[in-house]
């Protein structure tokens, strides 16, 4: 098997005095292994420079980066490419190579022949121990990442400097003038043919995209013998960036001193482990997702799933604003909210049926500035757009508003979603849709909501018993009847929602305080 030739002649050391040799050897042991990646940025961070840095970090190797292009890219595909001018690529190369003792250079997206030429002259000026060339030409999504004219420059200028070149099936085919590669046998021939073009010492043809293969097969040719590297194919959509990652991990292993065949084997088994760990991750909505190079993301994901931001006890005294009542009493919405919080309201919902959108957003922003410091969540009635615009804590919807599952998908997992329900079927749907709580009513007749049939205390009890979600009772509740509501004593009935009982009163704070003390009283007994 061919070894990587170490440029920079280490045997020179042995002609020096023994003490100096020892000192230099100790120094060498302390040196951090270092890969420089010369590649494009992937905004989605699954491939490109971002994958390279993460792969090297996983291998325990430092990775510096010279950016050749910036791509706008996600799990759907590549939306745009913005090349970095060649002379600025040259400047980045000089900055890193002249100072940072790079062991191995790995290349990714090199969009033009002149970028390749710039790299070749930098490598001549600053030789490194090994060069890994991943001839990135087309992304898996089918988008072109280098101009067709670069092919000749790759073959004539860069590959002769490479210790290993790692084409995927499409790239191997392009290097061979467009022949079709459909089987492992084709991959053997391709590896040998690419080697015989004269350029790189070692060729690895990657078979991630081999059709109808239950294994992930790569073919490695070192100039003497072909080695088939086989692993089970991980069934997952999260394979974006496997090629960049494999090449970077090979580079990292070479930087640590592994022989090339061992570097390739370790890289392949690392990619398989990372794919396996990440097979169920959901990042992005497109067909090909990124995977987790450091195999740590799942801890965090399970933390998010607990929806820690919503505390059902906050439903105890749920104050719903009403612009008509504020107008009647000559109050601003912020004064009303301030007074309710002062009196002990535990959650606020802004219900502005008449307001213009601009005024609603403004009002919501001002109310949030009052609620946040007091740790009182602020919800918006109906208007998901208003909630998103001001980053409110959640939205409350009724049965004829936007379906709760859509509200949830628009707001994401960390916001509060409440749904009005009158019966067990609606309550079941709210739970399935990802709601955090149910508002059940009207419990008693009310003037605040026209044509709203009441469910009574019995209906309230039925909904509570049918649901796993916390429930807040609403409709005609006041200081006079709040006790009877909470006294139905079902564990998931967490509080009462009120409008007129607070906002259609001379002093909001006083009325809120009275109601709060009744509720706290019932809970204590």
Ligand X SMILES: Nc1ncnc2c1ncn2[C@@H]1O[C@H](COP(=O)(O)OP(=O)(O)OP(=O)(O)O)[C@@H](O)[C@H]1O
495 in catalytic set:
no
Which of 54, 106, 201, 240 touches ligand X (CB under 6 A)?
A: 240
- Check if 37 is active-site: no
Provide the pairing of β-strand 226-232 with 215-221: antiparallel
Q: How many residues bind ligand HMH (CB under 6 A)?
A: 15
Q: Scanning residues 146 to 175, which ones bind ligand X (CB under 6 A)?
A: 168
Site residues for Mg ion, 151-210, by CB under 5 A, read 208-209
Closer residue to ligand HMH, CB minimum distance, 134 or 163: 134
C-alpha closest to that of 158 among 122, 190, 208: 122
Question: Cα 219 vs. chain centroid, distance in angstroms?
Answer: 33
Q: Does 74 bind Mg ion (CB under 5 A)?
A: no
- Report, in Å, the least distance between residue 80 CB and Mg ion: 21
Q: Does 83 interact with ligand HMH (rule: CB under 6 A)?
A: no
275 binds, among ligand HMH, ligand X, Mg ion, none (CB under 5 to 8 A by kind): ligand X
d(CA 399, CA 81): 45
Query: Is 52 a binder of ligand X (CB under 6 A)?
Result: no
Q: Which does 246 bind (CB under 5 to 8 A by kind): Mg ion, ligand HMH, ligand X, none?
A: ligand X
Helices (H) and strands (E) in the chain, counts: 20, 17
Name which of 137 and 430 has its Cβ closer to ligand X: 137
Residue 270 or 437: the one with the smaller Cβ distance to ligand X is 270
Binds ligand HMH by CB under 6 A, chosen from 136, 204, 271, 317: 136
- For residue 162, is the peptide bond before it cis, meaning its omega torsion is within 30 degrees of 0? no
Among Mg ion, ligand X, ligand HMH, none, what does residue 109 contact (CB within 5–8 Å per kind)? ligand HMH
Q: Which residues contact 375 (CB under 8 A, 6 or more apart)?
A: none
Nearer to ligand X, 209 or 342 (CB): 209
Residue 65 CB coordination number (10 Å): 21
Select from 115, 130, 137, 246 the one that contacts ligand X (CB under 6 A).
246
Q: Is 289 in the site for Mg ion (CB under 5 A)?
A: no
Does residue 206 touch ligand X according to CB under 6 A? yes
C-beta of residue 463 within 8 angstroms of C-beta of residue 490: no
Q: Is 239 a catalytic residue?
A: yes
Decide: is 42 part of the binding site for ligand X (CB under 6 A): no
Query: Please, what sign has the CA dihedral across residues 410, 414, 418, 424?
Result: positive
Compute the CA torsion angle 377, 381, 386, 389 (nearest 10 deg). Answer: 20
Report the distance separating Cα 188 and Cα 190, nearest Å: 5
| Among 347, 351, 397, residue whose Cα is nearest residue 377 | 347
Which 1-40 positions form the footprint of ligand HMH (CB under 6 A)?
Answer: 39-40
Smallest distance, Å, CB 168 to ligand X? Answer: 4
Contact between 519 and ligand HMH by CB under 6 A: the answer reads no
CA atoms of 3 and 263, how far apart (whole Å): 11
In angstroms, the CA 13 to CA 11 distance is 5
Backbone angles phi, psi at 166, to 5 degrees: -125, 65
- Contacting range for ligand X; rule: CB under 6 A; set: 3-11, 235-243, 361-369, 498-506: 235-243
Is 166 an active-site residue?
no
Q: Which residues contact 148 (CB under 8 A, 6 or more apart)?
A: none
CB of 293 to ligand X, least distance (A): 12
Which residues pair with residue 230 across a beta bridge?
217
Q: Tell me the closest approach of the beta carbon of residue 248 to ligand HMH, in angstroms.
A: 11
Sign, CA torsion 106/111/117/121: negative
Given ligand HMH, Mg ion, ligand X, none, residue 271, with its beta carbon under 5 to 8 Å by kind, binds ligand X
Contacts of ligand HMH in 86-115 (CB under 6 A): 108-109
Q: Which of Mg ion, ligand HMH, ligand X, none lies near 128, with the C-beta cut-off 5 to 8 A by kind?
A: none
Helix orientation angle between 424-432 and 456-466, rounded to the nearest 10 degrees: 40
CA–CA separation, 55 vs 59, rounded Å? 6
> Nearest-CA neighbor of 457 among 503, 500, 496, 425?
496
Q: Which of 251, 178, 180, 246 is nearest to 208 (CA)?
A: 246
Tally the residues of the chain: 525
Taking CB under 6 A as the rule, does residue 442 contact ligand HMH? no
Q: For residue 309, what is the DSSP state?
A: T
User: Cβ closer to ligand X: 47 or 472?
Assistant: 47
Does the protein bind ligand HMH through residue 48 (CB under 6 A)? yes
Return the number of other C-beta atoms located less than 10 Å from residue 279's C-beta.
Answer: 15
Asked if 135 is part of the footprint of ligand HMH (rule: CB under 6 A), the reply reads no
Residue from 63, 244, 390, 463 in contact with ligand X (CB under 6 A): 244
Binding residues for Mg ion, rule: CB under 5 A, are 140, 208-209
Q: Using CB under 6 A, list all residues that contact ligand HMH.
A: 39-40, 42, 47-48, 71, 73, 108-109, 136, 139, 145, 241, 243-244
List contacts with ligand X (CB under 6 A): 47, 139-140, 168, 206-209, 216, 218, 231, 233-234, 239-244, 246, 268, 271-272, 275
């Amino acid at each position: 098997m061919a070894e990587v030739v170490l440029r920079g002649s280490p045997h020179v050391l042995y002609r020096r005095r023994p003490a100096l040799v020892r000192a230099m050897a100790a120094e060498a042991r302390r040196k951090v292994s270092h890969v420089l990646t010369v590649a494009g940025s992937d905004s989605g961070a699954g491939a490109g420079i971002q994958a390279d840095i993460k792969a090297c970090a996983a291998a325990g190797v430092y990775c510096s980066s010279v950016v050749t292009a910036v791509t706008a890219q996600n799990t759907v595909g590549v939306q745009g490419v913005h090349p970095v001018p060649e002379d600025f690529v040259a400047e980045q190369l000089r900055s890193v190579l002249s100072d940072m003792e790079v062991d191995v250079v790995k290349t990714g997206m090199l969009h033009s022949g002149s970028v390749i030429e710039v790299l070749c002259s930098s490598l001549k000026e600053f030789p490194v121990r090994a060069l890994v060339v991943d001839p990135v030409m087309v992304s898996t999504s089918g988008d072109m990442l280098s101009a067709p004219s670069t092919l000749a420059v790759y073959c004539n200028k860069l590959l002769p400097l490479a210790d290993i070149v790692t084409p995927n099936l499409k790239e191997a085919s392009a290097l061979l003038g467009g022949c079709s590669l459909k089987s492992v046998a084709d991959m053997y021939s391709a590896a040998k043919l690419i080697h015989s073009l004269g350029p790189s010492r070692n060729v690895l043809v990657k078979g991630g995209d081999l059709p109808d293969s239950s294994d992930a097969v790569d073919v490695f040719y070192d100039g003497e013998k072909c080695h088939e590297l086989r692993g089970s194919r991980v069934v997952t959509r999260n394979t974006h960036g496997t090629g960049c990652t494999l090449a970077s991990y090979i580079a990292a292993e070479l930087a640590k001193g592994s022989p090339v065949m061992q570097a390739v084997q370790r890289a392949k088994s690392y990619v398989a482990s990372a794919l396996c760990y990440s097979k169920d991750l959901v990042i992005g909505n497109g067909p090909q997702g990124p995977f987790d190079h450091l195999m740590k993301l799942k801890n965090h994901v399970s933390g998010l799933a607990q929806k820690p931001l919503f505390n059902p006890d906050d439903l105890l005294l749920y104050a719903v604003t009403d612009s008509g009542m504020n107008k009647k009493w000559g109050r601003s919405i912020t004064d009303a909210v301030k007074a309710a919080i002062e009196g002990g309201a535990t959650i606020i919902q802004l219900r502005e049926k008449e307001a213009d959108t601009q005024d609603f957003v403004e009002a919501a922003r001002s109310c949030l500035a009052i609620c946040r410091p007091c740790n009182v969540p602020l919800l918006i009635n109906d208007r998901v757009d208003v909630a998103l615009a001001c980053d409110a804590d959640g939205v409350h919807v009724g049965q004829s508003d936007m379906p709760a599952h859509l509200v949830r998908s628009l707001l994401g997992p960390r916001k509060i979603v409440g749904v009005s329900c009158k019966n067990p079927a609606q309550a079941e749907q709210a739970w399935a849709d990802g709601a955090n709580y149910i508002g059940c009513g009207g419990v008693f007749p009310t003037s605040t909501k026209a044509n709203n049939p009441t469910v009574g205390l019995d209906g309230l009890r039925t909904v509570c018993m049918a649901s796993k979600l916390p429930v807040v009772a609403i409709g005609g509740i006041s200081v006079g009847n709040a006790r009877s509501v909470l006294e139905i004593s079902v564990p998931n009935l967490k509080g009462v929602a009120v409008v007129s009982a607070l906002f259609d009163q001379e002093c909001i704070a006083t009325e809120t305080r009275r109601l709060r003390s009744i509720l706290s009283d019932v809970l204590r007994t």
